Amino acid sequence: MSEEHRDELSGVETTGHEWDGIRELNNPMPRWWVYTFYATILWAVVYVFFYPAIPMISSATKGYLGFSSRAELQQDLDQAKLGQAQFHEMIAAKSVQEIDADPTLREFAVSGGASAFKVNCAPCHGSGAAGGPGFPNLNDDDWLWGGDLDGIQTTIAHGVRYDGDPDTHVSEMPAFGEILKIDETRQVAAYVWSLTNTPSSAALADAGKQVFMDNCAACHADDAKGKVDMGAPNLADAIWLKGRGEDAIARQVLAPRHGVMPAWQGRLGETAVKQLTVFVHSLGGGK
């Protein structure tokens, strides 16, 4: 269909395409559309000239400006590292007490410690450090091994009952299964429970006091408030690491369970341990 044909009504030339007697009008594109189209072509040409654009075998064409998003990111990272290096040096040189007392350093240590905590500690202590059965809550005022900066630092650096570190905390509760008669075990369990709750029998609890003084006070103290140098928890508060109730206490007496925590100094280095210490201390329970 090469012959020219005009639409009778509008007088516009048709494209020559015809379907069932309907012909397509050959109207020109609107001006604004055509100019925008030319502008985008021009933009593309300018872009290809200045910026990396055409993919080659191992990289793209470089472009006149030599721009690279990777190089730009690297520059940002280098700058950030340089800024942090100063802080890391200061943290390495100072004690945890000095870091805690300096507001800028403390802020840096707390935020670095918080992110190290998420990666290394949250699997056991929980992302909010609230712990769980067998894993102590680090937000409260109850400390097995001491809640001042030095105590926390020692625990994090060397761990608890951790074979790989000669300076780890080692104290363990003996199994009393062969030392105490079963009656005495019931009595002492009732006594310990009576310190914070109503015991199953007041007579049992009364009898248990002497058993406690003879067998337990050496580690848990006469008033049962615990001793941090033994890692022996306070039994006169409502916080139970191993389980609540007389049965749970009796189980711990007969066959004690012991928590193990890895040492972190060798793994993360001293500055990370210091940051973690200041962070854990800042959680609110620090002394």
| Binding interface with ligand HEC (CB under 6 A) | 117, 120-121, 123-125, 134-136, 138, 143-145, 152, 155-156, 160, 171-174, 176, 188, 192, 215-216, 218-220, 230-233, 235, 240-242, 249, 252-253, 258-262, 264, 276, 280
Looking at the Cβ atoms of 17 and 258, the one nearer to ligand HEC is 258
Q: Report in angstroms how near the CB of residue 172 gets to ligand HEC at its nearest.
A: 6
Q: Report in angstroms how near the CB of residue 192 gets to ligand HEC at its nearest.
A: 5
Contacts of 108 (CB under 8 A, 6+ apart): 87, 91, 275
Looking at the Cβ atoms of 48 and 230, the one nearer to ligand HEC is 230
User: Can you tell me which residue has the tokens 């700058």?
Assistant: 79
Q: Please give the residue whose beta carbon sits closest to ligand HEC in the complex.
A: 259
Per residue in 214-234, is it b (16+ CB within 10 Å) or e — as a string?
ebbeebbbeebebbbebbbbb
Give the Cα-Cα-Cα angle 256, 260, 262 (nearest 5 degrees): 170
Looking at the Cβ atoms of 14 and 188, the one nearer to ligand HEC is 188
Q: Report in angstroms how near the CB of residue 110 gets to ligand HEC at its nearest.
A: 13
Give CA–CA dist 36/261, Å, rounded.
67
Looking at the Cβ atoms of 205 and 235, the one nearer to ligand HEC is 235
User: Can you tell me which residue has the tokens 């105590």?
Assistant: 151
Return the closest-CA partner of residue 273 out of 118, 125, 162, 155: 155
Looking at the Cβ atoms of 76 and 167, the one nearer to ligand HEC is 167
Tokens of 160: 């608890």
Give CA–CA dist 191/196, Å, rounded.
10
Q: How far is CA 273 from CA 88, 143, 158, 251, in A?
A: 12, 18, 10, 35
Looking at the Cβ atoms of 105 and 249, the one nearer to ligand HEC is 249
Q: Report in angstroms how near the CB of residue 58 gets to ligand HEC at its nearest.
A: 42
Half-sphere exposure of 8 (CA within 13 A, CB side): 1
Looking at the Cβ atoms of 51 and 240, the one nearer to ligand HEC is 240
Asked if residues 116 and 271 have their Cβ atoms less than 8 Å apart, the reply is no
Asked if residues 204 and 186 have their Cβ atoms less than 8 Å apart, the reply is yes
Tokens of 161: 């009952």
Q: Report in angstroms how near the CB of residue 124 gets to ligand HEC at its nearest.
A: 3
How many Cβ atoms from other residues are within 10 Å of residue 242's Cβ? 16
Looking at the Cβ atoms of 14 and 155, the one nearer to ligand HEC is 155
Q: Report in angstroms how near the CB of residue 97 gets to ligand HEC at its nearest.
A: 16
Q: Report in angstroms how near the CB of residue 100 gets to ligand HEC at its nearest.
A: 15
Q: Report in angstroms how near the CB of residue 215 gets to ligand HEC at its nearest.
A: 4
